[in-house]
């Protein structure tokens, strides 16, 4: 029975490797969606992602937010905090809103294609 379990574990690891780039791209999409609602602090983003397939850590989120900022999709402002030092609150830029609209449209088309091909 152990060889069977080893094979199953190996197949799961291979699937995780295949899905990793997809998850990475979707995480960026989800972060843009979260930030689109209102200005948010990193802890707010992490809380929204917790318990989902896209739960992540600060060590992943901060570089992603930096990338999105360099691309002009998000910006931040410092706000005073009652619980300590000032915090960065992120928001979408107009370019970020445009990119999110394109991603939403693309996602709808992908879902439609998958549904149509699956029947």
Q: Which fold has domain 24-118?
A: Arc Repressor Mutant, subunit A (1.10.10)
The number of residues in the chain equals 119
Cβ neighbours of residue 28 under 8 Å, at least 6 residues apart? 64, 68
pLDDT in tens, 26-69: 999 999 999 998 899 999 999 999 999 899 999 999 999 999 99
pLDDT of residue 6: 58
Cβ neighbours of residue 34 under 8 Å, at least 6 residues apart? 40, 44, 45, 48, 49
pLDDT in tens, 61-114: 999 999 999 999 999 999 888 888 888 999 999 999 999 999 999 999 999 998
Burial of residue 38 (CB within 10 Å: 0-12, 13-18, 19+) is exposed
pLDDT of residue 103: 94
Check: pTM over 0.85? Answer yes or no: no
pLDDT of residue 66: 96
């Amino acid at each position: 029975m152990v060889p069977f379990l080893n094979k199953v574990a190996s197949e799961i690891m291979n699937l995780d490797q295949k899905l990793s780039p997809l998850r990475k791209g979707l995480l960026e999409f989800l972060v843009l969606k979260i930030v689109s609602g209102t200005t948010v602090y990193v802890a707010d983003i992490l809380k929204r992602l917790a318990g989902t397939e896209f739960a992540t850590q600060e060590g992943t989120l901060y570089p992603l937010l930096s990338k999105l900022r360099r691309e002009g999709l998000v910006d931040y402002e410092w706000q005073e905090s009652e619980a300590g030092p000032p915090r960065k609150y992120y928001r979408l830029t107009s370019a970020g809103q445009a990119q999110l609209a394109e991603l939403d449209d693309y996602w709808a088309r992908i879902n439609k294609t998958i549904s149509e091909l699956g029947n």
